[in-house]
Amino acid sequence: MKKVYLILSVVLGISLVSCNQNTSENKVTDTVEEKTEQKNHEVTTPRDIKPIYLTTEEFKEKVWDYESNPEEWAYNGELPCVVDFYADWCKPCKMVAPIMDDLADYYDGKVIIYKVNTDEQRELSTVFQVRSIPSILFAPMEGKPAMQPGAMSKEQYIEIINDFVLKENKTNNKQES
């Protein structure tokens, strides 16, 4: 029994020493390999595009200048947009925030996702008669925008963006007929 214990102790000691030596010898190599993996990983991951936060002045430049053209909607953007009217204290807004982050990344180059803090940009809240938050403004390139109050699922937002903002399904249905 003592011999078995002694043999196990020796084998265990040798394996621990070899693991430590192996680790220290390969430390530089591991670091280089890790950096290479990180670079490769960065290339293959999504770009992590986030929504753009707007002030009232930026909204007038990028979306609609309601002071210059109060009677008629005239969209200023180069891409259609979605505007999330939110407040930091609002729990449903906090549930919608990661969805808007995902949508900004998903629709990169097709739709711009904006966010407007209703507590800080009260004028915009008044112009759009935001009574409950979150309220989401969907603005296609052509035609009038639509406002949707309340939180929805990611799938519902995608459906509205595809059907109304990008008009993808309507275009596809016309081609099939």
Task: Report pLDDT digits (tens) over 118-136.
Answer: 999 999 999 999 999 999 9
Whose CA is closest to 128, among 141, 113, 116?
116
Assess whether 93 carries a catalytic annotation.
Answer: yes
pLDDT digits (tens, 9 = 90+) for 49-107: 999 999 999 999 999 999 999 999 999 999 999 999 999 999 999 999 999 999 999 99
Catalytic residue among 90, 99, 130, 137: 90
- Partnered with residue 135 across adjacent β-strands are 85, 149
Catalytic residue among 93, 104, 113, 133: 93
| Amino acid residing at 75 | Y
Question: What residue has token string 């519902």?
Answer: 156
Torsion angle (degrees, nearest 10) of CA 9, 11, 16, 22: 170
Question: What residue has token string 């621990």?
Answer: 16
Assess whether 90 carries a catalytic annotation.
Answer: yes
pLDDT bin (cut points 50, 70, 90) of residue 166 is very high
